[in-house]
């Protein structure tokens, strides 16, 4: 309960407290990882106006703890965009007291415990990151953009971030408008090379999926079905680039009237 109270205490424009926890079995003991965070506006890759505090009882070398956190942040908090604005006070820290009784993790090489710990930490960070994105100021929907079959993972990250940061795409999600041209446009100005006539764009939501764009062209989809999917509280856009094996996912939200109202009235 103290953790929940702390998560509530650090809220600003957040509408819900953000916290998560997980247990993982390592050699010699059960390790617990818990996290709490705040962040709703001025959220963009490189973390921005967010605070995240993670604690664990794992016994692990400091350098390996930092390495695991850096990897986790790279696929979670650094893949969020609410409004494209960054700030100077972003923080993500992890504290480990070593009281779990597990065999101390001292090496990455051939160490299943390090891999298990790192993956558990990623799960916690991804959980919090998705909550932040879904609780963006004024938002009505979580927008998750997955890019698959890009030239590389690096390209996929850039492409996914470009779409998630597109104000026109975010506005279309708010309007439940299947304007796949805005998505293709955002992919195009990302700076990554790809053949637009090979790209497929699909949307998933409310338990349904629909291909909007096939080989860079309109698929002839049903507007009614698309509107139903885009009315979901969580919308996933999948961009299949058909040019390699790279993949990445970014997290954001729709852009609403309330975002403007909140930031017109809010004095920081």
Given a contact cutoff of 8 angstroms between Cβ atoms, the answer to whether 229 and 212 are in contact is: no
The residue with tokens 């605070």 is 51
Helices (H) and strands (E) in the chain, counts: 8, 11
The residue from 49, 56, 249, 256 that is catalytic is 49
32, β-bridge pairs: 23
Given a contact cutoff of 8 angstroms between Cβ atoms, the answer to whether 46 and 57 are in contact is: no
DSSP label of 49: S
252, β-bridge pairs: 81, 143
Q: Which whole-number Å values give the CA distances from 243 to 40, 148, 157, 260, in the listed order? A: 35, 9, 15, 38
- Is 49 known to be catalytic? yes
Q: Which residues are catalytic?
A: 49
């Amino acid at each position: 309960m103290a953790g929940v109270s702390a998560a509530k205490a650090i809220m600003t424009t957040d509408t819900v407290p953000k916290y998560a926890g997980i247990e993982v079995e390592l050699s010699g003991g059960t390790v617990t990882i818990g996290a709490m965070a705040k962040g709703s506006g001025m959220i963009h890759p490189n973390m921005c106006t967010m605070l995240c505090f993670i604690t664990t009882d794992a016994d692990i070398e400091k350098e390996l703890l930092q390495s695991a956190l850096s990897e986790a942040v790279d696929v979670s908090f650094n893949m969020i965009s609410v409004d494209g604005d960054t700030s100077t006070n972003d923080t993500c820290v992890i504290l480990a007291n070593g009281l779990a009784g597990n065999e101390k993790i001292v090496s990455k090489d051939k160490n299943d415990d390090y891999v298990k710990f790192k993956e558990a930490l990623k799960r916690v960070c991804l959980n919090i990151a998705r909550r932040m994105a879904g609780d963006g100021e004024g938002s009505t929907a979580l927008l998750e953009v997955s890019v698959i079959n890009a030239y590389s993972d690096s390209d996929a990250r850039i492409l996914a971030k470009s779409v998630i940061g597109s104000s026109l795409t975010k506005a279309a999600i708010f309007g439940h408008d299947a304007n796949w041209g805005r998505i293709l446009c955002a992919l195009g100005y990302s700076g990554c090379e790809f053949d637009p006539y090979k790209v497929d764009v699909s949307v998933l939501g409310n338990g349904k999926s629909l291909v909007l764009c096939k080989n860079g062209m309109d698929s002839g989809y049903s507007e009614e079905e698309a509107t139903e999917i885009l009315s979901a509280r969580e919308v996933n856009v999948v961009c299949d680039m058909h040019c390699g094996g790279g993949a990445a996912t970014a997290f954001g939200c729709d852009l609403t009237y309330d975002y403007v109202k909140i930031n017109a009235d809010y004095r920081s």
